[in-house]
Amino acid sequence: MARPQEFDTNEALHQAMDVFWQKGYEATSLSDLLKAMGLSKSSLYAAFGGKRDLFVAAFDAYRKDRVVEMRQILGQPNAREAITQFFRKIVNDTGNASSRGCMSINQAVEMAPRDPEVRSRVLEDFQLMEDALTATIEHGQSNGSITSNEDPRQLACALVLAFPGLQVMTRAGADQKRLDEALNRLLASLD
């Protein structure tokens, strides 16, 4: 019988995720990870391989959480309200020094250019968001909460294009009022 693992893998992955999300891949040291996860070096290597493998697993844990959250928010009965809430959540993250933005956007910048496994995940995330927003817009147009009669996928693509801007400006600490204005203009495309 295998010796039972003495820690919760999922919890440890989320602890690693928090560090990578905040600091990025390169700026995260092994000692940052050991401290956050409360593990010895040998336990970390035995359970997750090296830093790069742990990073990919932590990124996947992040992506899984975000997809669940996205489907929950966008699944609300009122589609206009659902999309507003989805984007409002980004912008409300501002105003504190620890705004982390979206890990997938951060990784589009940091690792995607040189790591094909990260790159394919990032591109898949853009596609997932486009598909989910398209379905929500279709739903809103059919029940009247979205009054624009533009093509749902075209509207969704314009929202996806603006997503990194909101995330990046939030992470860089842009003024809350400016972000709110940008968001309101963006959402007006649904009316």
What is the 3-class SS of the chain, one letter each residue?
CCCCCCCCHHHHHHHHHHHHHHHCCCCCCHHHHHHHHCCCHHHHHHHHCCHHHHHHHHHHHHHHHHHHHHHHHHCCCCHHHHHHHHHHHHHCCCCCCCCCCCHHHHHHHHCCCCCHHHHHHHHHHHHHHHHHHHHHHHHHHHHCCCCCCCCHHHHHHHHHHHHHHHHHHHHCCCCHHHHHHHHHHHHHHHC
Residue from 18, 165, 180, 187 in contact with a copy of itself (CB under 8 A)? 165
14 versus 100: smaller Cβ distance to a copy of itself = 100
Binding segment toward a copy of itself, per CB under 8 A, in 52-60, 67-75, 139-147, 166-174: 166-174
Residue from 13, 37, 108, 137 in contact with a copy of itself (CB under 8 A)? 108
Residue 101 binds a copy of itself, judged by CB under 8 A: yes
Contact positions vs a copy of itself (CB under 8 A): 22-24, 26-27, 97-101, 105-106, 108-110, 112-114, 119, 122-123, 126, 154, 157-158, 160-169, 171-174, 178, 181-182, 185-186
